[in-house]
Amino acid sequence: MATTMSRIKLVAGNWKMHGSLASNLALLTAVTSGAKAFDGQFAVCVPYPYLAQAQAVLAGSKVAWGAQDVSEHALGAYTGEVSASMLNDFGCRYAIVGHSERRSFYGDTDAVVAAKFSAALKVGLTPILCVGETLDEREAGITTAVVVRQMDAVLAAAGVAALGQAVVAYEPVWAIGTGKTATPAQAQDVHAIIRARVARDDKAVAERLQILYGGSVKSTNARELFGQPDIDGGLIGGASLVAEDFLGICAAAGGQR
Ligand code: 13P
């Protein structure tokens, strides 16, 4: 479903397990000062130990910050986990849930992802819900089935109104960190499927929903991707670690002022 309504573009960095206090300072400082030149929404999702640093450097700027995961539990004996209210203590706006690396390496099932999504929302964080198919699934012709199943799990657990407070990121697993970007047409097709699935439950929520593309986005391919009617920005891995690259992508989303 292509829509005529224009949604604000969001570019969110996912640093994954990269960084140090010293290197982050230079990166955060460059990103926050460079982002002033662009329209749009910007964020960085940093490793937990660096949330305080992100808050200190980014507070009052137009770059929001967030975490890369969140516990599905509110509190308790869950060694190693971090709750949504703890993320709130550090001023997070976003929490990524269901990233393919969590799904494949740490066993986050559709049900766990839905529980994490709800836990984030409950304290007022904006979940960035990741969905996407593997290469085998794409080649087997089941991309739509996989992505719709991942969306269904969250819609069934949290309800469509909850999607009104969330962001979705389509990240084909075969495009993550591989340098193989989905073509703008391939990405647009799946984004339209995601929006149509949400529209089946609530058209207004679907129209407003920001759906990001993630998977080898670079400043050289971002403009064409973001020019698609259902692509509302990007979730950026590798290129979010280099200020110039990330800002190049922010420019593609927001345009020069
Ligand atoms: P890359 O941009 O490195 O492909 O990573 C995408 C991603 O997984 C963002 O969450």
Instruction: List, for residues 188-241, the tens digit of each pLDDT value.
Output: 999 999 999 999 999 999 999 999 999 999 999 999 999 999 999 999 999 999
Averaged pLDDT, 160-189: 96
* DSSP label at residue 13: E
Q: How confident is the model at residue 6 (pLDDT cuts 50, 70, 90)?
A: confident
Task: Please calculate the CA angle 190-193-195 and round it to the nearest 5 degrees.
Answer: 110
All domains of the chain, ordered by start, with CATH? Answer: 4-254 (3.20.20.70)
CA gap 168, 197 in Å, rounded = 12
pTM, 2 dp: 0.96
pLDDT at 5: 66
Averaged pLDDT, 174-200: 96
Work out which ligand 1 atom sits closest to the CA atom of 45.
Answer: 10
Q: Over the chain, what is the mean pLDDT?
A: 96
Work out which ligand 1 atom sits closest to the CA atom of 96.
Answer: 10
- In this model, does residue 123 exceed pLDDT 70? yes
Ligand 1 centroid–CA 14 distance in Å is: 7
Q: What digits encode the pLDDT tens for the residues 70-117?
A: 999 999 999 999 999 999 999 999 999 999 999 999 999 999 999 999
Choice among 72, 99, 101, 137 that is catalytic: 99
- Does the active-site annotation cover 73? no
CA gap 45, 23 in Å, rounded = 15
pLDDT at 256: 45
CA gap 223, 201 in Å, rounded = 31
* Nearest CA, atom 2, ligand 1: 237
Choice among 72, 101, 171, 191 that is catalytic: 171
* Nearest CA, atom 7, ligand 1: 237
Q: 189: which 2 tokens?
A: 């097709």
Ligand 1 centroid–CA 253 distance in Å is: 17
Q: Which residues line ligand 1 (CB under 6 A)?
A: 14, 99, 171, 176-177, 214-217, 235-239
pLDDT at 254: 81
Query: Which backbone phi and psi does 199 adopt, to 5 degrees?
Result: -65, -30
CA gap 225, 39 in Å, rounded = 17
Ligand 1 centroid–CA 76 distance in Å is: 31
Ligand 1 centroid–CA 77 distance in Å is: 32
Q: What digits encode the pLDDT tens for the residues 38-54?
A: 999 999 999 999 999 99
C-beta neighbour count of 139 within 10 angstroms: 11
The two beta strands, 126-131 and 94-97, are parallel
* Nearest CA, atom 5, ligand 1: 237
- Does the active-site annotation cover 171? yes
